[in-house]
């Protein structure tokens, strides 16, 4: 399949949020990525349900929602109601991960599991049969504009081998330091979904940057 591009609103200009979302609508982006941070699981606070509700009302793209929060089970149905199409939880934040991802799918959303840079992909082996996507964090989560962690390539390759060997239909998404200089290598390593924030919204022509990310071979 062709790879997908999911621009991250964390890097958008929130003083002109409608303009930013409409730009993504007109672009070749496939999804729109929303990072939800609670200031506990990560040392930053981003935005909550009013912003998600607004983006859903404005966006023509599926909402790709990443929960970087403690005890995400409290809010699964609320994010479904807010319009999330894909809901990703952090492996490190879930005490009963099987129960959590099962509930996400029961609610009608695609279920993703995110791994922090230090977490080995081997820990996902028993959960792969019931998830739709794995998000590999290629920076330490919490803040945009960080540099890509080069060791991530080996981790992605290991995960791709696990997925292919098991015959699973699971997408690999990456987030953190993604731009036109490393996107092609990431795709070659086995990535299906590119999340790009700062490289898109800080560029002189965000829609053109999205086009370049989307048309890489």
- Residues 62-83 have a mean pLDDT of 97
Percent of the chain at pLDDT above 70? 97
Q: Can 35 be counted among the known catalytic residues?
A: yes
For residue 84, is it left (φ>0), alpha (ψ between -120 and 50) or beta? beta
pLDDT of 19 over the 80 cut: yes
pLDDT of 143 over the 90 cut: no
Q: Can 2 be counted among the known catalytic residues?
A: no
- Residues 152-170 have a mean pLDDT of 97
- Of the pLDDT bands very low, low, confident and very high (cuts 50, 70, 90), residue 17 is very high
Domains and CATH numbers, the chain: 4-214 (3.20.20.70)
pLDDT of 132 over the 90 cut: yes
According to DSSP H, which parts of the chain are helical? 17-26, 49-58, 76-82, 97-106, 152-166, 183-189, 198-201, 206-214
Condensed to tens digits (0 to 9), the pLDDT of residues 169-202 reads 999 999 999 999 999 999 999 999 999 999 999 9
Give the integer Cα–Cα distance in Å for 193 and 126.
22
* 8 Å CB contact between 142 and 42: yes
- Of the pLDDT bands very low, low, confident and very high (cuts 50, 70, 90), residue 140 is confident
- Residues 130-152 have a mean pLDDT of 87
pLDDT of 213 over the 90 cut: yes
pLDDT of 161 over the 80 cut: yes
pLDDT of 100 over the 80 cut: yes
Phi first, then psi: give them for residue 164, nearest 5 degrees: -65, -40
Question: Per the residue annotation, which of 30, 38, 175, 179 is the catalytic one?
Answer: 175
The pTM is what?
Answer: 0.96
- Residues 139-160 have a mean pLDDT of 87
- Edge-to-edge strand list for the sheet holding 193-196: 4-7, 193-196, 171-175, 133-137, 110-115, 84-90, 63-68, 32-37
* 8 Å CB contact between 88 and 59: no
Question: Per the residue annotation, which of 30, 35, 38, 64 is the catalytic one?
Answer: 35
* 8 Å CB contact between 81 and 56: no
Place of tokens 């370049």: 212
Output the pLDDT for position 144: 67
Percent of the chain at pLDDT above 90? 92
């Amino acid at each position: 399949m062709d790879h997908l591009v999911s621009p991250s609103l964390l890097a958008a200009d929130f003083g002109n949020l409608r303009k930013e979302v409409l730009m993504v609508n007109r672009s070749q982006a496939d999804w729109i990525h929303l990072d939800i941070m609670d200031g506990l699981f990560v040392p930053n606070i981003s935005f909550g349900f009013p912003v998600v509700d607004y983006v859903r009302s404005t966006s023509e793209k599926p909402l790709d929602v990443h929960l970087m929060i403690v005890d995400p089970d409290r809010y699964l149905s609320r994010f479904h109601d807010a319009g999330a199409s894909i809901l990703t939880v952090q492996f490190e934040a879930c005490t009963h991960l099987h129960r959590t991802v099962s509930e996400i799918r029961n609610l009608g959303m695609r279920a993703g599991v995110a791994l922090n840079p230090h977490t080995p992909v081997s820990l996902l082996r028993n959960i792969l049969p019931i998830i739709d996507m794995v998000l590999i964090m290629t920076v330490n989560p919490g803040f945009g504009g960080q540099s890509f962690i080069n060791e991530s390539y080996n981790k992605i390759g290991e995960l791709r081998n696990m997925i292919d060997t098991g015959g699973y239909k699971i997408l690999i998404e990456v987030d953190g330091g993604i731009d036109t200089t490393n996107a092609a290598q990431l795709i070659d390593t086995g990535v299906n979904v590119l999340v790009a924030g700062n490289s898109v919204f800080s560029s002189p022509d965000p829609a053109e940057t999205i086009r370049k990310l989307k048309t890489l071979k």
